[in-house]
Chains A and B, each alone.
Chain A
Amino acid sequence: MMIPACRLEDLPRGEAHRLDIDPPVSVFHTDDGELFAIDDTCTHQDASLADGWLEGCEVECPLHASKFDLRTGAVDAPPAKLPVRTHEVVVEDGMIYVQPSTEAPNLPPCISARLAGGPA
């Protein structure tokens, strides 16, 4: 299932666009003009990576210091320990589409607990 994100012309280089699906996914347009989609929530704590520090093919969580590789989803250093999922991105007729991964997401403990009905 391809989900429309936004028009390519509306997403300048160096910016990110967040899709409010569950769990949210963000599309990043790097300074080099490449497009990547990853899970938007840092695997350490509830923070939107679309708000993060984009540099090259890495985005740093806006709260703490973990960086995620947009190409692989891999995390470089604590406090996050788990990677984020990556998703396929397709551009058709100037529109950006995301094909969500079917893998299970790595959500931070506070969100996992909330989804499981435990204490938030």
Chain B
Amino acid sequence: MRTVAVVGASLAGLSAARSLRKQGYDGRLVVIGDELHRPYDRPPLSKEFLAGRLGEAELALEADGEDLGAEWLLGVRAAGLDHARRAIRLADGREVSADGVVIATGAAARTLPGSEGLAGVHTLRTLDDARALRDELARGGRLVVIGGGFIGAEVASTAYALGLDVTVVEAAPTPLAGPLGETMGAIVSALHADHGVPLECGVGVKGLSGETRVDAVLLEDGRSIPADIVVVGVGARPNVEWLQGSGIVLDNGVKCGADGRTSLAGVVAVGDCANWYDPRAGFHRRVEHWTGARERPDAAVATLLAAGAVKPGVPRPPYFWSDQYGVKIQFAGHAAGADSVTIEAGTADDRDVLAVYRRAGDPVAVLGMNQPRLFMRRRKQLAATAS
């Protein structure tokens, strides 16, 4: 393999570039990124960066003086993959020839139809998004967060600490029920009420009102919530449009094996755009977690360099964290398969719980709120029993 192109310059792309060098690849390495920025860390964007406690320099993912010997093509979007010619077409007309490709193009924030061009309406995915939102939050006012998922809850918590008047709107009856289940979703989302942040659940958003700038969020039940700033946190969709017509199999992102291999030889996929096969569950999942973007490139790169001759190891159970209203929330495993959840330490009222999810008696997931020590022990056990 003489040239490897990594398409995507965020955590998954950078981790892939690092894995390539660590695993002995010494050929030409091209990293293509649609943003102008060098790789940066996203979790602080909704928390410390948004609050003004962390600057842009501290978001950098590369260490000082780190040199991967890569060519960085930044500020240009990949527009197509021509597998027969082993080439990646860029939006500016250039082409990068590569005999190995790592797809790491991530996901884009979903928007609210009809909100385009309305000032005061934000999504939060990129550094540029975060800069714009930070500047607006600094002016204060009434913030409505649409979506009570992790991004929405983190933004609400940060804005609350900044002194804004915050309301959260969630279409589902219980926020976070998808990732955490109903019981624990209710307990974690009660953090909003603890701080006097109204949470409107089970009601959809009909639209936004305002001429040039948003002035209210219109709910499907006829109510309207006045707003100076709106943050739309309703999930993300994988950035795979550029792969249409390439022959690669797309199904909720790039469909991959348990080792990151795609349907095309010499092409692997990692990060939020990749729908990996989960050997434990027996089906494919697209996991949008920082930890997966950090860890899975090791396996995908091994696959790429060995031309598929390596047997993939079983990855650790998915892990993610969140910080809301000063509470550290940690989760590992999959709540979806559980038939019971038990609080094994702390109490829900004190918001310091350690909860274990089980299926037929076997632990399948663990949730911690301000319980890093117990959580880590349980997470370790979960990985040991699951492998």
Are A53 and B376 neighbours in the complex by a CB distance under 8 Å?
A: yes
- A81 vs B15: C-alpha distance when bound (angstroms): 14
Are B372 and A63 neighbours in the complex by a CB distance under 8 Å?
A: yes
Are B380 and A53 neighbours in the complex by a CB distance under 8 Å?
A: yes
B307 at the interface (CB under 8 A from A): no
> Closest residue to A77 on the B side, CB-wise?
B294
- A51 vs B378: C-alpha distance when bound (angstroms): 12
Are B58 and A109 neighbours in the complex by a CB distance under 8 Å?
A: yes
Are A79 and B376 neighbours in the complex by a CB distance under 8 Å?
A: no
> Closest residue to B330 on the A side, CB-wise?
A63
Contacts A63-B321, A63-B330, A65-B295 given; does A79 touch B372 at CB 8 Å: no
B53 at the interface (CB under 8 A from A): yes
From B41, B54, B64, B376, A109 is in contact (CB under 8 Å) with B54
Contacts A47-B372, A64-B321 given; does A53 touch B58 at CB 8 Å: no
Residues in chain A near residue B295, CB distance under 8 A: 65
Are B376 and A51 neighbours in the complex by a CB distance under 8 Å?
A: yes
- A13 vs B279: C-alpha distance when bound (angstroms): 32
Give chain B nearest CB distance to A119 CB in angstroms: 6
Give chain A nearest CB distance to B148 CB in angstroms: 23
> Closest residue to B60 on the A side, CB-wise?
A81
> Closest residue to A51 on the B side, CB-wise?
B373
- A109 vs B49: C-alpha distance when bound (angstroms): 12
Q: Which of B373, B376, B379, B380 has the most CB of A within 10 A?
A: B376
Enumerate B334-387 residues with CB–CB distance to A below 8 Å: 372-373, 375-376, 379-380
Residues in chain A near residue B249, CB distance under 8 A: none
- A119 vs B54: C-alpha distance when bound (angstroms): 10
Are A119 and B53 neighbours in the complex by a CB distance under 8 Å?
A: yes
- A-B interface pairs (CB < 8 A), number: 48
> Closest residue to B298 on the A side, CB-wise?
A77
Give chain A nearest CB distance to B84 CB in angstroms: 36
Give chain A nearest CB distance to B86 CB in angstroms: 30
> Closest residue to A60 on the B side, CB-wise?
B376
From B64, B294, B372, A62 is in contact (CB under 8 Å) with B372
- A35 vs B68: C-alpha distance when bound (angstroms): 34
Residues in chain A near residue B281, CB distance under 8 A: none
Q: How large is the interface on B (under 10, 10 to 19, 20 to 34, 35 or more residues)?
A: 20 to 34
| A45-72 Cβ-contact flags toward B at 8 Å (1 or 0) | 0011001110000000011110000000
From A51, A78, A119, B11 is in contact (CB under 8 Å) with A78
- A63 vs B80: C-alpha distance when bound (angstroms): 38
Residues in chain A near residue B321, CB distance under 8 A: 63-64
B305 at the interface (CB under 8 A from A): no
Q: How large is the interface on A (under 10, 10 to 19, 20 to 34, 35 or more residues)?
A: 10 to 19
A110 at the interface (CB under 8 A from B): yes
Residues in chain A near residue B193, CB distance under 8 A: none
B61 at the interface (CB under 8 A from A): yes
Give chain A nearest CB distance to B198 CB in angstroms: 27
- A113 vs B55: C-alpha distance when bound (angstroms): 12
| A25-48 Cβ-contact flags toward B at 8 Å (1 or 0) | 000000000000000000000011
Residues in chain B near residue A109, CB distance under 8 A: 48, 53-54, 58
Residues in chain A near residue B41, CB distance under 8 A: 78-79
Residues in chain A near residue B294, CB distance under 8 A: 65, 77-78
B328 at the interface (CB under 8 A from A): yes
> Closest residue to B61 on the A side, CB-wise?
A78
Are B63 and A81 neighbours in the complex by a CB distance under 8 Å?
A: yes
- A53 vs B18: C-alpha distance when bound (angstroms): 23
B291 at the interface (CB under 8 A from A): yes
Give chain A nearest CB distance to B285 CB in angstroms: 19
- A119 vs B52: C-alpha distance when bound (angstroms): 10
Enumerate B271-302 residues with CB–CB distance to A below 8 Å: 290-291, 294-295
Are A53 and B330 neighbours in the complex by a CB distance under 8 Å?
A: no
- A48 vs B372: C-alpha distance when bound (angstroms): 9
List 11 additional contacts besides A62-B376, A78-B11; criterion CB under 8 Å: A52-B376, A53-B380, A62-B372, A62-B373, A63-B328, A63-B330, A65-B290, A77-B15, A77-B294, A81-B60, A109-B48
List 11 A-B pairs, Cβ < 8 Å.
A51-B372, A51-B373, A51-B376, A52-B376, A53-B376, A53-B380, A65-B290, A78-B61, A110-B48, A113-B53, A119-B53
A-side interface residues toward B, CB under 8 Å? 47-48, 51-53, 62-65, 77-79, 81, 109-110, 113, 119
B-side interface residues toward A, CB under 8 Å? 11, 15, 18, 41, 43, 48, 52-54, 58, 60-61, 63-64, 290-291, 294-295, 319, 321, 328, 330, 372-373, 375-376, 379-380
